[in-house]
Amino acid sequence: MGKWIKRLGSLLVGVFGFLAVGIGVTVALEPYIWPSAMLGLPAGIIAGVALFPLTYLGLTYWEERTTTGTASPETSRRFWATVAAILGFLGGGGLAMIALSMQAIGLAAAMLFGGVPAGIGSAVLAAYFVSHRNWGRHSNSESVVR
């Protein structure tokens, strides 16, 4: 599979993810929040931006595994760091948004001013820890301090 086919496919998945999440959140929150698009649009953008690299790296990971039987360490590290970043964003941002929305601020403010910054921070930390994980490399026995 060529790079441009993977890029185009990833772009299409990102656009469809943006549309699905953006429209879904907007429609789901319409009875409760007047400008529900104010929450649906950022949620859709975040979903689309997250799905683009995840799809590209997933296709690369799958292609390497089917061709050679195993994926290269760089591809594995990038793929799993992306997965960890997305899960870290959802976990950290979701918890911050829930905690702030129970206070005296609205759901939109909790999402935009609490959930997104906390999600970005937890995504960076999760990706950092996963990318610096020892992926099967063993250290030399001489480097052990006794």
**pLDDT tens track for 81-132:** 999 999 999 999 999 989 998 888 887 788 888 998 999 999 999 999 998 8
Same domain, 66 and 93: no
Residues 64 and 119 in one domain: no
Q: Note whether residue 139 is domain-resident.
A: no
Which residues lie closer than 8 Å to 130 by C-beta, 6 or more apart?
77, 80, 81, 83, 84
Helices 37-68, 3-29: inter-axial angle, 10-degree rounding: 150
* pLDDT tens string 24-49: 999 998 888 888 888 889 889 999 99
Segment 95-103 long-range contacts (CB within 8 Å, at least 24 positions apart): none
Report how many domains make up the chain. 2
pTM for this one? 0.78
The CA distance from 67 to 79, in Å, is 17
Shared domain for 43 and 85, answered yes or no, is no
145 domain residue, yes or no: no
> Of 32, 48, 71, which closes a domain?
71
Alpha helices per DSSP H over the chain: 3-29, 37-68, 73-101, 107-109, 116-131
- Average model confidence (pLDDT) across the chain: 88
- 69: pLDDT strictly greater than 90: no
pLDDT value, residue 36: 86
In a domain, 102, yes or no: yes
Q: Is residue 99 part of a domain?
A: yes
Domain that includes residue 106, residue range: 76-134
- Do 54 and 37 sit in the same domain of this protein? yes
> Exposed e or buried b for every residue in 35-62, given b needs 16+ CB within 10 A?
ebbebbbbbbebbbebbbbbbbbbbbbe
Do 115 and 66 share a structural domain? no
Tokens of 38: 């104010």
The answer on 12 and 62 residing in a single domain is yes
